A and B are shown apart, each in its own frame.
Chain A
Amino acid sequence: MFLCNHKQAASKMDAPSTFFDIKLRGHFRMRIPFHFLKYRQIFRTKFLALMMASGLVFGGVSAQAADFELMAKKARGQTVYFNAWGGSPQTNSYIAWAGSQIKSRYGVTLVHVKLTETADAVARILAEKSAGKTRGGSVDLVWVNGENFASLKRQGLLRSDSWAFALPSFAYTDAEALPGIISDFANPTDGLESPWGRAQLVFGYDTQFVPNPPRSAEELANWIEKNPGRFTFPQPPDFTGTSFLKQILLEVSPDKGIFAAPASEADTKTALAPLFSWLDRVRPRLWRGGVKSPPNYTSLVQPLGDGELAIAMAFNPAEFSNGISQGILPDSVRTYIHDAGTLANVHFVAIPFNASAADGAQVVANFLLSPEAQIRKANPELWGDPTVLSIPKLDATDAKAFADLPRGMATLSPADLNRTLPEPHPSWVGVIERAWMARYSAN
């Protein structure tokens, strides 16, 4: 009942052997070996990714399948601690379902460690590295993307043998059609993380209070000025909150080109000025006068249902349909996006360098990426997260299953959703967040 059997699992570890051959003299001597290893592995993964992109590796699918069989055999009996944000009942139920499937097929036990923030898991993996815990770690699989991934990657906290490219299910993806699956916020994944789902920023509005929703940053600011207290956004550094700021920034900036390059190459103060003049305009008229921002996008749903908010946002296109079917939202709620398009990106699962059940974690990642699991995930009645798979690469039955998925009453069609904005370079995330904090935490 108490989840503490990683001790036994540790002995069954199969992590890259180079990692553990080095004898640590003290508990805090890890840094040096890490650096040595990183270069070799970065080279290896870069090379692999390159081959993938040029289609060289797919010839070896059957060999990979055999490797995977072997790994699945080793994984039997392992317990995988999946650290994933647990604020949404749909997500939690979906992970519970995946756990039951994985248990019956592979004999791997999946435990969902529900996080309030993914950064918790990052901090924990760091704490383990701090204490010299190079194996038997408490996190086996973590749901990440963007900044958290960049941080884990930079600190060498991830399992680094490009395992994600070797998963059998990865063959159903198409990195040319969807570059986001190998480049997370323009940061190469190097196979350190396996794609899980796609997200796009959408807005939900209650037609009782908003007959014509504002379809641009400028119109939104005007609307907020006329309707004080009825709009807010999650507090950066929350993922959706920061994304909303990026969205506004991209819309109001005269020169959008600079955001494709690293922030260090631009004059950030000038670059962010249009965003802050927009925010200065709306801030006094945000929900609760701006003294409290909700922690994440799901906590906008209940206030939208109550009528405290009239416009909310989500990173899941099916969020508002879900809210209606659960009875949290009235059926007068609909979804819209800005005319200029909205931000879209991919989210992933990654394995920490010291995972206790690395085999089991790969089995789980592979299952989560399988057509079967992806079809269920895309079902708006269950979750409604768009798939990362490439439909042309699927067999006819699976392709049909995707085509036949129902669409909720408040969900936009794929055609309506096809206007997307490219993510700025990941280095902008920190710049925007710090600047936002400095400006709006201070008063």
Chain B
Amino acid sequence: MVRIAILLLCLMPVAVGLLGAILPALGWFPPLGEYHFSFQPFVDFFAQPGLRRSLYLSLSVGLLATFLSYWLAMFLLAILYGQGRAGFLFRLISPLLSVPHITIAVGFLFLLQPSGWLSRLFSPWLTGWQRPPNLNIVPDENAFVLVLALIAKELPFLLLMGLSALSQIKVRPLLDTAASLGYGPLAGWMHLVQPQLAARLRLAVLIVMVFSISVVDMAILLAPSTPAPLAVRILTWFRDPDLSYQFIAAAAAVMQLACALLACVIWVGTDKAILFLIARLSAAGQRFSRLPSSFVSALKKGGVILAVWPCAMACFGMLAALIWAFADIWRYPSALPDEWGLNAWKYAYISLGQATLNSLVLGLVTAAICVSLALLWLQTETAKGDKHAERLIYIPLLLPQIAFLFGMQILLIWLGFDGLFLALIWAHSLFVFPYVMLSLAPTWRRFDARYLAIAATLGAGPLRRFLAIKLAMMTLPVLTAFAVGFAVSSALYLPTIFASNGRVMTLTTEAVTLAAGAGRQNLGIASLMQMALPLCVFLICDRVARVRLARFSFFKL
């Protein structure tokens, strides 16, 4: 019953939202006086100029970003798993997980554009540039910067999901067996671990794919605009003062859905083909033993560097954003501000104060609700089955946001919820809840039920068993899931503008607005706040959990 209610809450807006795109796409939109079904919207859509280029940009960015992040993540896992250095690397990369997408995009903008920090650091002493060079980068024609920025964000996510999946696979014995048969660690990994890992990561990769193909906020900053990728153009069409564009926007939203589907099919197909190839190699007993060891070690080093550099650039970019927040005057080509100061903070106090507070409250409330729902969901889980029901909660992540948010906005207005805090929480929860589940479910299920059995024999009732034993021992994963939920909520752009009627500013919506305005200082301050908030929540949650668990001396943390 509870689970059905949760599913309904998550899926009903999505279903209505999709209808709200599909019906107008077929010409049925009573508010504009259209009651006849036709394919005219699609005809008009396909007549739009530059469509091929927009589709190409969307698909190429989505596919490239997904393939690169996935394979780089797999490579990192294969060579670093179980090594001491790995822990350090993961700790370095994992803060990126909590940073909103738009902040990463701002970082790349501040770092790589011709007047960016990188160019300033090497000018004029090395390059001789007294003014920014005339280079067509950020954005470049093919939106490679957007691909880089997406990798910087998605690679850590896939690494984390990979680590979580690996904990369910008995990696060590598998590799030992392979070694005893003369397979090196990498070959053994490829034959025995990778196929299992791939199967477990499919959901995560599809989420990444759909997100990358339909990303809007990062693309506004980093992709070409003449024409822009499809998702950005859909938003423009929805906003066009000429209301007949609503039909084209709806048809485009349906096409965006089709594109996402196509990309997922391409992904699954390639993945299957690669697994088939691995199976053939395994059958042939391919040990790659003829490859010279120098080549292998070069490959390893190259792979690590390749995987780490988008993340490193993101970090440098965010550092540049931090510096801008404290720069009163910073002329090209000075490597550091000419005048440091807090001038921009006076303005930021007025405009960003409210946005910060909104982000904070919205994130905390949404995360708290979603964690509670996740606990309800997990507690009401029957021993087996329910697998199908659980897959359904990921649907909002597997559909392009732009495809159903406009329709959902109409639903919210119709219910009289639009602009209410409640509507925002609801819209955010659609996206936060699945991530909370992703974070919490595996650990929760691995809980050793014998603790509960012992408690029961000592006379503890069900509520007490849940609160005093399970929840108490699970404090760390529950609070981590909470922090994850907060980070997801604070990064959401489209759901915020659609559900709040644009009335509630969060740091993310504010950053997109500021990026289209004068002065980098304010954007720097917004980025600083966006980095600080999720990080603080993570640190506080971690601290609380550790203090709580320290009482049980046998939990060595």
Chain A interface residues (CB < 8 Å from chain B)? 1-4, 6-7, 27-28, 30-31, 81, 83, 86-89, 92-93, 96, 111, 113-117, 119-124, 126-133, 136, 138, 147-148, 150-152, 155, 209, 228-230, 235, 237, 288-296, 298-299, 301-303, 305-308, 323, 326-328, 330, 430, 437-443
Contacts and interface: CB of A to CB of B under 8 A. Distances in A.
Contacts of A116: 512-513, 516
B31 A130 contact: yes
Interface of B: 29-33, 49-50, 53, 113-115, 130-132, 134, 136, 139-141, 220, 223-227, 238-243, 246, 328-329, 331-332, 339, 343, 347, 350-351, 354, 357-358, 361, 406, 409-410, 413-414, 416, 418-421, 424, 497, 501-505, 510, 512-520, 522
Q: Which residue, of B223, B226, B406, has the highest number of chain A Cβ atoms within 10 A?
A: B226
Nearest to A150: B241
B85 to A, nearest CB: 39
Contacts of B226: 235, 290-293, 440-441
A298 B517 contact: yes
B227 A289 contact: no
A159 B213 CA distance: 40
A327 B343 contact: yes
A185 to B, nearest CB: 13
B518 A323 contact: yes
Contact of B134 (A3, A136, A230, A305): A230
Contacts of B243: 126, 151, 155
Contacts of B519: 89, 301-302, 326, 328
Given A2-B358, A119-B241, A293-B226, A88 B518 contact: yes
A302 B520 contact: yes
Contacts of B224: 291-292
Given A114-B505, A130-B410, 17 more contacts: A4-B419, A87-B516, A89-B347, A92-B347, A117-B239, A119-B239, A127-B406, A133-B418, A147-B241, A151-B242, A291-B139, A298-B516, A299-B517, A302-B520, A307-B130, A323-B518, A327-B339
A288 B413 contact: no
Contacts of B31: 28, 30-31, 126, 129-131
A228 B328 contact: no
9 residue pairs, one from A and one from B, having the closest CB atoms: A229-B134, A441-B50, A130-B31, A87-B517, A307-B131, A131-B413, A306-B115, A151-B241, A28-B30
B239 A93 contact: no
A122 B241 contact: yes
Contacts of A228: 134
A287 B108 CA distance: 19
Contacts of A148: 241
Q: Which residue, of A3, A123, A330, has the highest number of chain B Cβ atoms within 10 A?
A: A123
19 contacts: A1-B354, A4-B503, A27-B414, A30-B31, A88-B518, A114-B510, A117-B239, A119-B240, A120-B497, A130-B29, A131-B410, A133-B413, A235-B225, A237-B240, A289-B141, A303-B115, A306-B132, A308-B114, A327-B343
Given A89-B517, A328-B518, A83 B502 contact: yes
A122 B33 contact: no
B268 to A, nearest CB: 32
Contact of A4 (B242, B350, B421): B421
Nearest to A119: B239
A291 B140 contact: yes
A381 to B, nearest CB: 14
A338 to B, nearest CB: 23
Given A228-B134, A306-B115, A441-B226, A301 B518 contact: yes
Contacts of B49: 437-439, 441-442
A28 B28 CA distance: 12
Q: Which residue, of A30, A116, A237, A301, has the highest number of chain B Cβ atoms within 10 A?
A: A116
B324 to A, nearest CB: 10
Q: Which residue, of A28, A115, A291, A296, has the highest number of chain B Cβ atoms within 10 A?
A: A291
A198 B471 CA distance: 63
